[in-house]
Amino acid sequence: MSDESTRTSAGRRYVLTVLKLVVSVALLAFLFSRIDTARLWDSAKRASLPWLATALAVYGVNVMASTWRWWLLLEAQNVHVPGRKLFGSFLVATFFNNFLPSNIGGDVIRIRDTAGPSRSKTLATTVILVDRGMGLMGLVLISALGATIAAGLHGSASQPIWPAWLWAVFIGGLAISVPAVLAPQGLGRLLQPLTAVHPEWVGGRIDKFTSALGRFREHPAALLGCFSGAILVQGLMVAFYVAVVHALGMSIGPWDLAVIVPLSLVVQMLPISVNGLGLREATFSFYFTRLHLPIESAVLLSLVAAALIMVFSLSGAAVYVSRGR
């Protein structure tokens, strides 16, 4: 790559980062203009430290469960990496996700750390993609269950998203993912037009990708365990927010959190803000207003939970520094 193209690429990334920062600041400024910041700060100062500590502990269990899912998928591919090493890599990935202006940075770390044992970057990437896909399916399932129960408690009119939509997304995801695992060669044929870009390189990657999916088909227990782990991870994420709610003395039930937490996680994936900052708070505020709860509570819950996750992710910085690179 020439120096000119490198400068152009760096300039483009800089402009995109600035635009994302503008979106985040604008959304936060709008939300803070509609709330009583003094009351918000007073509520934050009265937070229960034991409950905040409980929330951090729950998040730690969440990371361990996520690491276990990753380990299961690697084992299904005959890639043997000690769980302790994977846990450290996941901590570093969590740190990068929270302190870099992109959620992709953490996945790059995980791929890099397993590309050697896998003897293939494509295989390491495939494992991460399957892990992400399973996580998204678990997220939608938890949200659909939460929305169904919450609609029964509050009435469907108060729900910002109908349970039927979430169930439709979940069933649609199954309709796409199950054939991809059961008949990976068919998926490979669908991807063949991509070889027009570079027949040898792209074709080789497609072959490795479909071969990896074929090995997953031979280990259904690993896939079932990973999906069960995905449900556990999303449930623990809701439990983390339940602990934060108790710490702040708020009155919102776990089933409502089972809807809003996954929904906010999906919204954060949109590449239009810095790590979902502002978008996440706007999503919480929208849901809280539908439940006739104050926006101050929504913003405070979102910011305190994000701050706790960032505090926890600092352990990843310690692991990264200990590597000596």
pLDDT digits (tens, 9 = 90+) for 130-169: 999 999 999 999 999 988 988 877 766 666 678 888 999 9
The reported pLDDT for the residue numbered 102 is 63
CB 144 within 8 A of CB 171: no
* Cα distance between residue 7 and residue 12, in whole Å: 9
In three-state secondary structure terms, 120 is: coil
Query: Any idea where the domains of the chain sit in the sequence?
Result: 3-322
The reported pLDDT for the residue numbered 95 is 92
Which stretches of the chain drop beneath a pLDDT of 50? none
* Assessment of whether the complete model's pTM goes beyond 0.95: no
Backbone phi, psi, residue 195, to 5°: -70, -15
The reported pLDDT for the residue numbered 152 is 79
CB 301 within 8 A of CB 245: yes
CB atoms within 10 A of CB 49: 8
The reported pLDDT for the residue numbered 172 is 92
In three-state secondary structure terms, 9 is: helix
In three-state secondary structure terms, 204 is: helix
- What stretch of H or E contains 132? helix 121-154
